Copies of this chain bind each other. A is one copy, B any other.
Amino acid sequence: MTGRSPVAHRPRRADGQRNYDAILTAATAEFTAHGSQASLGEIASQAGVAIGTLYRHFPTRATLIEAATRDGLTSLLDYADKVSAAGDPVDALTAWMSRAVDYFSTFRGLAQTLTESRNGDNALSETACAELTRCGVRMLEAAQATGRIRADLTAEELFDLLGAAAWVRETSQPGHDGSVRLLAVMIAGIRS
């Protein structure tokens, strides 16, 4: 080891950063409009870069999806802290679940990507998955400690509920959000 890390990268080039940002902006718009299966060629085109440039920055669709939803995930994790500090763990859990469904359905197809990643199939980064899982476990265990949430519910099952509710929202016709009632039924079902 020399004094400084042997792999001290050069700072990212200015044009690279510009394109990275432009691609991310375009991707967010396209995913919102057309779901996670939006055309990558169209995203590149919207961003004003060639397709090769998009692949340079985001080697797989999953990396792009993850980058485009990173803010949402951070926001969800922050929300967990806030609502946990506020008071009753069961209220915190239910509020967080509702918020998590919002995040899961940021755009069509995200719930599936998240669930498959949690199952190891697809490949969002493990750290993101792990953060989300840890957060869910914490919320669930705190609520279970009150005795008012079924003790036999696992975190895995909790995430199944969230994914399912998000799927319903994605699939509902616009204007009618079926996930609200579904979530209510679920929350009733997980009480002791």
Contact = CB atoms under 8 A, between A and B. Distances in A.
Chain A interface extent, by class = 20 to 34
Contacts of A112: 171
Contacts of A116: 171
Interface stretch (A46-54, A74-82, A183-191): A183-191
Interface stretch (A57-65, A86-94, A159-167): A159-167
A84 interface: no
B165 A182 contact: no
A182 B161 contact: yes
A10 to B, nearest CB: 41
Quickly give the copy total for this chain. Answer: 2
A157 interface: yes
Tell me which of A173, A181, A185, A188 has the highest count of chain B C-beta atoms within 10 A of its own C-beta.
Answer: A185
Given A115-B171, A171-B115, A173-B120, A164 B189 contact: no
A171 B178 contact: no
A25 interface: no
Please classify the interface of chain A as helix (H, G, I), strand (E, B), loop, or mixed, using the class held by over half of its residues. helix
Nearest to A116: B171
Contacts of A163: 167-168, 171
A125 interface: no
Contacts of A161: 182, 185
A173 to B, nearest CB: 4
Nearest to A170: B112
Contact of A189 (B119, B153, B168, B186): B186
What 9 pairs across the A-B complex have the smallest Cβ distances?
A189-B189, A164-B164, A185-B189, A188-B189, A119-B173, A160-B178, A167-B167, A115-B171, A160-B168
Interface of A: 112, 115-116, 119-121, 153, 156-157, 160-161, 163-165, 167-168, 171-173, 178, 181-182, 184-190
